[in-house]
Amino acid sequence: MNAKAFAIAILIFTVPMGANAQETCTFQEEGANNCARFVGCINEGETLFKGTSRGWENGTLYGETTTGVVCTGSWTYDGVIDKGEGSFACDDGESASINFFARGESTQAITGVAITNTGKRLRIWGSTDLSAFFAERFPDSPVPGQTYKCGDTWIPLPVEFPDQIKTE
């Protein structure tokens, strides 16, 4: 699969409320239920978040901050220009429009940046294999593949990821 197709695969669609991503998040090439996990930080680690993204060329995001704030959003990816964009809103009023791009050498990932409606800087990484991507991206990590860097701080990769799955 080429890098653009894989980048589309990394972003994601919504599927029974309360399920966790460990049970339901799987790669499905060109599938509306394709799923990838993401992590991010606001203001270089002031706030951390994690979640899942579902879909193929467009889809949804669901995430939670370490303080329990829930954020949801949507995204689209254009393989012709190799760029995506999306938006999210959180239940604490924080929101942003996100621009993202395909990254990675042997492990593909999506990296995104944004400025929130309150002026905070957001960084986000999403992949079907965050551990492998972070091992490549942060080779100087104290625990390669198990940490990522926000500002000057090494952050442990979460073990579990939240997932909002809707039933029709």
Sign of CA dihedral 163, 9, 131, 67: negative
- On the CB side of 28, CA atoms within 13 Å amount to 15
pTM: 0.81
The answer to whether residue 118 scores a pLDDT higher than 70 is: yes
* Domains of the chain, residue spans: 3-156
Q: Is 160 left (phi over 0), alpha (psi -120 to 50) or beta?
A: beta
Closest CA to 132 of 37, 23, 46, 29: 37
Distance CA 92, CA 148 (A): 25
Distance CA 125, CA 112 (A): 6
10-14, 75-79, 102-106, 144-148: least confident range: 10-14
CATH 2.40.128 matches 3-156: yes
Q: What is the mean pLDDT of residues 115-128?
A: 94
Joined together, the tokens standing for residue 142 give 């104290």
Q: Are 107 and 133 spatial neighbours (Cβ–Cβ below 8 Å)?
A: yes
Distance CA 85, CA 90 (A): 17
